[in-house]
Amino acid sequence: MMNARRGWLALLIAVMLVTAACGSRVDAPDGTASGGGSNAAAADSNAEPSATQPAGDSATAPAQGDATPENNGGATDVGVTADNIKIGIQADITGARPGLFKTALEGLDAYVAYVNANGGVNGRTLEVVPYDTKLNGDEVRRTAKEACDSVFALVGSMGIQDSDGAATIEECGIPDIMATALTQERQEVSTSYSPLPQAPGLWSTGPGAYLKTQFPDAIAHAAMITVDQASPKLNAAKLVDAYQQEGFEFVYQGKTNVIQIDFTKLILDMKDKGVRYVMMIADNSQMADLLKAMNTQDFHPDVIEFMPQAYSQSFVDLGGDAVEGSYVWANFALLGESDVNPEMALYQEWLTKTHPEATPDIFGVYAWGAGMMFVEALRNSGPEATRDGLLTSLSEDFIDWDANGLMGLSSPSTHTPSRCFALMQVRDGKFVRVFPEEPGTFECELGGLREVNPDL
């Protein structure tokens, strides 16, 4: 039964790791406000970017606004009082894949604790209301309606079936700052934004452009493997389209099913086609299984490239020696470089304070970034917190934004994706930075944002 669930994670475009981290506050009942932020605080009081983007210079505390509960306008909108703002987060926490996006909730909770410890925003503390969507489309729709009626905004959401909330969110107009939208339907909601935006018609080719310089002959013999489901197939087709514009030639494209464990025919076909450069869009378990099977079949291409979903210790643990040498890229600060990235250090510090047993990961980073966007837009919109004011800031103020160096430079206001990346390679069971070499930096000029319109 567990194998049958593998393919759900293949829906992710940029992030697909499963975490076992735990924390008591994220288990708050559906729709019940999580006290993690305030309680933790009490306990522990489209311009072109530069070629190499450094991390943020500092991670200063959010500046407390001049407004107070006495002069901030009081109950100015849904979920707002003179001293409190409720924000919701939809995430798959329980259900058939328990804990799937728990770390997104933990990341948001950590950021809210940090903000509240530094005085809140214009006299108001923030309060997280978690909505467990349980890998269930009906729950996505139900909780979207509940959020529309009871919280000021949705912040940090992640769900496999996030498309099921799109129509409700569009209709009610609630601000929706997602950790990342996993479906095109949610990406296209007019009130939805993300700290690392995606665009249905664009794909960044930076990692491929760099690897082309290192393996110029291999790119004429590329292969793409994907799970035979709508979303991963679409993303694979976009990647192939974009990389072809970089000069790649795909001599083989194969599909797996969600429970496939025998890759013999796939591997023999790639051998027969002379494949030298392999990419795969699937979950970590299936990617690791493919690499182990490739070892067994003595198939060793020049390059194996994975997107950020593979940036997880679980991928290394599952694949063992077979994942050695694989290339993995990220468009956010590397988890192991908190010593040179102040915002990454801040995320990890407050995650430890609020959820001591939690593990920092990509989902938590994205949700922390969503929290940063929300607070910045809230401050920009003035002391009288309104959804309209928040949306105006979101649509105008986030151009060439990088979350204080936590993420690659992008323009969330215009939904323009980042061109920035850092490339790693698995060596001796660890992710080792390869390019650019300087810790804490991104490469932002190689390749480009390619217009894609794949024919499926």
| Nearest partner of 96 among 3, 21, 228, judged by Cα | 3
| Nearest partner of 366 among 416, 435, 444, 308, judged by Cα | 308
Q: What is the mean pLDDT of each run of 10 residues along the chain (456 residues)?
A: 37 35 34 43 35 49 71 97 98 90 96 97 97 96 98 96 96 97 91 93 95 98 90 88 97 87 93 98 90 97 94 91 97 96 98 96 95 98 97 98 97 96 97 97 96 80
The reported pTM is 0.85
User: Over the stretch 29-54, which tens digit does the pLDDT of each residue have?
Assistant: 345 454 444 333 333 333 333 345 55
Burial status of residue 43 (CB atoms within 10 A of its CB: 0-12, 13-18, 19 or more): exposed
d(C-alpha 179, C-alpha 87), whole Å: 14
User: Over the stretch 224-239, which tens digit does the pLDDT of each residue have?
Assistant: 999 887 778 888 999 9
Contact of 347 with 365, CB cutoff 8 Å: yes
pLDDT of residue 4: 34
pLDDT of residue 53: 56
| Nearest partner of 338 among 41, 55, 43, 7, judged by Cα | 55
| Nearest partner of 367 among 169, 134, 195, 164, judged by Cα | 195
Q: Give the helix ranges, DSSP H, for 102-224.
A: 102-117, 137-150, 166-172, 184-187, 206-214
- Which domains does the chain possess? 3-196+337-414 (3.40.50.2300), 202-330+421-451 (3.40.50.2300)
pLDDT of residue 47: 37
pLDDT of residue 409: 96
Please count the other Cβ atoms lying within 10 Å of the Cβ belonging to residue 1.
6
In the Cβ-directed half-sphere of 456, how many Cα atoms lie within 13 Å?
13
User: Over the stretch 103-161, which tens digit does the pLDDT of each residue have?
Assistant: 999 999 999 999 999 999 999 999 999 999 999 999 999 999 999 999 999 999 999 89
Residue 305 Ramachandran class (φ > 0 left, ψ -120 to 50 alpha, else beta): beta
d(C-alpha 359, C-alpha 276), whole Å: 35
Residue 183 Ramachandran class (φ > 0 left, ψ -120 to 50 alpha, else beta): beta
pLDDT of residue 54: 55
